[in-house]
Chains A and B, each alone.
Chain A
Amino acid sequence: MAGPTPLQLRCCAASGCRSAGSEALQAALLAARDQLGGAAEAVTIKPVGCLRLCGRGPLVALDRSDGSELYAELTPDQAPALLAAATGLGDGQGDALAGRRIDPADPFFALQQAVVLEGCGLVNPESIDDALAHGSYAQLKRVLLECTPEQVRDQVKRSGLRGRGGAGYPTGLKWDTVALQPPGARTVVCNADEGDPGAFMDRSVLESDPHRLIEGMAIAAYAVGADQGYVYVRAEYPLAIERLRLALKQARAKGLLGAGIAGSSFNLRLEVRVGAGAYVCGEETALLASIQGQRGTPRPRPPFPAQVGLWGAPTLINNVETLASIPVILREGGDWYASIGTEGSKGTKVFALSGAVANTGLVEVPMGTSLRTVVQTIGGGVPGADGPNGGVKAVQTGGPSGGCIPAHLLDTPVDYESLRDLGSMMGSGGLVVMGETTSMPEVARHFMRFSVNESCGKCVPCRAGTVQLLQLLDRFVERQASIADLERLEALCRMVGATSLCGLGQAAPNPVLSTLHYFRQEYQAACRDPGQCEPLDACLLQEVTP
């Protein structure tokens, strides 16, 4: 792939580091290089995508012939020192970088396995030539020349890949369903609406390695017989939209999109559609409505989009990470991918780790890695806390549709089924760590408020039920609740979950139900008259440790 390692500084230019000042840093590096001249001129300064440790940005990676190093929390005035470190000159300035060098053997990096993110942080997201040099589009070209659509779908089925958008539906099966519809037009859609608060995996892929996604989409389109596609991106991701648009333009100019791709007879038109601030548009039928310029309200399924989708045609909808996994799967083979992960959940999963944890950022690990490894070893636990669970009270997975997993279950492997069994879900991959002081009824209320704000209002259990649930939770947070409220809360949670039209309403009670399950004493302690509570000792216990 890439030739001999040049002397280079890879500067993170993704949103996380941008908000921490990476643009000024990169400008300072360029200026310092001009000023220093000499040996410094041999240093390539390259903007790249996410270098993972977002919480400590701006980050810069230094590649030398003897290996790579990572520097964190840099300021523009440290640019000369960084260049000096690159050229191996001016050792006297070493102090200026004290505490900024990150040990590459730190478990945060050592335990990760880059599959979807293999190009993220290495390639320049704004240069198709760099992406091509790193192997982008090689699989698309090969597949168009050598494989039938059936063969492509077969590899995807063998890989065991399941949808990364939350529900974990087997990707190969979905592709078959679309491909085997009666003859006619088909469409592929990439769901890049990533609305779960605390989730930024898809954004990182879009900002760091957009060509990988485009290649994956093109392969998917070929495999299901589609000739047009849309990427639906949330409007809150301006940088991702800009880079994706640029990447599409570059790909068209190189004949990798459009008519007769790479000399084959395969055509594909890809367009970006930008959302306008509605979480529910991540739901697939709402997303289709939104692409068609309508209110983003879901509709009952069946028929599924694979049967009746955009403008009535069969439509394949996949998440960003799902599609970005495709090129690697075809390069290494479905069996290779299936050898990673667990029985039911193959491959790797990207998580966005945030909240009360030392290392916040992007983490890609094999499925089945335990939550403890992710949160404590990779994440470094809660800063300043110790003890067996490192100050962790709970880990929230799956965003507003998921639940809170208590610290004593941290040894749970992260895969679709294990999380579901605990009353949470994989969701898109946000992991928010909560420290000891977090109040669980407040967490539940936080998510319910989100659902109230984001409900589309079409069906009554979600539109009116979440409002009632929020008011009930207010009573618990304000310690005004009664035991009857607790019963009402549970009954209504079950009703909203069972009868709502779409996944938003169906999953809205999950944060309440899971905190009720694992932290019931906190709800009981919030009842007006603790004498009403049973078991009584749970409340007393709570009085001691508020």
Chain B
Amino acid sequence: MIAPPSAQSPPLAPSSPQADLPPQAVERTTRLIRQHRGRADALIEVLHQVQELYGYLPAGALAQVARELKLPLSRVHGVASFYHLFRLEAPTAHRCAVCLGTACFVKGGGELAARIERRLGLRLDDPAGNGTWALEHVSCLGACGQAPVLVVDGQLEPRLPMDDPAALDARLEALGLADGAGAACGGAS
């Protein structure tokens, strides 16, 4: 019951989301909401499509979705932030996902994640990554027979050689996950 207040509070989110979105994307959003006949239960479907449009869900787009589906802003943000496949920040240029499902875990997925964290100088599941790369975890891609697996910029990389460090390093190097890649951009640590 006697807890010291934390040293400093994190800042509040930037104010008003009325940002400048490309008019074409705004129009597209309106059209696709109309395709769903403006039904509130289509929210998740709409968010998927809006994310395809922008690569993530900018606050302005969320505000537009809320307005046009006639939903409270907080409800739309609540849903968008609940589901892990929705991104609320612009993605980094390159992205890598490491499978931490059970089959991959048994075959060394955890060490693989730790190794990539070290190589790239970033933290797992920090969307900002090192500025260039971000590393996220996924829980089973259904490629368990090929464990452990990575997805590098959308490409599945099966059977990482966890028992041969030199071969592993060479493989990661070849994938562009170079030692210290983008570390100069500062980042998470």
Residues on A lying within 8 angstroms of B by beta carbon are: 15-16, 19-20, 54-57, 195-200, 203, 235-237, 273-279, 290-296, 352, 354-356, 360-361, 396, 399, 430, 432-435, 438, 443, 446-447, 449-450, 453-454, 456
Contact = CB atoms under 8 A, between A and B. Distances in A.
B83 A236 contact: no
Contacts of A443: 105
B102 A235 contact: no
Contacts of B48: 235, 274, 276
Contacts of B110: 446
A355 B103 contact: yes
Given A19-B146, A354-B144, A456-B82, 7 more contacts: A16-B146, A19-B149, A236-B141, A276-B86, A360-B145, A449-B100, A450-B139
A361 B145 contact: yes
A454 B84 CA distance: 9
B47 interface: yes
A356 B158 CA distance: 16
Contacts of B145: 16, 20, 54-57, 354, 360-361
A443 B140 CA distance: 15
A273 B36 CA distance: 13
B106 A434 contact: yes
Contacts of A449: 100
A213 B52 CA distance: 29
B90 interface: no
Nearest to A203: B142
B142 A293 contact: no
Given A197-B102, A399-B102, A278 B144 contact: no
Interface in B64-98: 75, 78-79, 82-86
B42 interface: yes
A294 B86 CA distance: 14
Contacts of B47: 276
Interface residues of B, number: 39
A198 B149 contact: no
Is the contact region of chain A dominated by helix, strand, or loop, or is it mixed? mixed
A453 B86 CA distance: 15
B43 interface: yes
Given A276-B44, A276-B85, A278-B82, A15 B106 contact: no
B101 interface: yes
Nearest to A430: B102
A516 B100 CA distance: 22
Contacts of B41: 291-293
Contact of B44 (A20, A293, A352): A293
Contacts of A295: 78-79, 82
B139 A279 contact: yes
B140 A199 contact: yes
A275 B45 CA distance: 9
Contacts of B44: 273-276, 290, 293
Contacts of A290: 44
Contacts of A456: 82
Among B86, B100, B139, B140, max chain A CB count under 10 A is at B140
B78 A237 contact: no
Contacts of A56: 145
A401 B47 CA distance: 30
A245 to B, nearest CB: 13
Interface in B13-51: 39-45, 47-48
B24 to A, nearest CB: 25
A291 B140 CA distance: 23
Nearest to A235: B85
Contacts of A19: 141, 143, 146, 149, 156, 158
List the 3 shortest-distance A-B pairs measured between CB atoms, nearest first: A55-B145, A197-B101, A276-B83
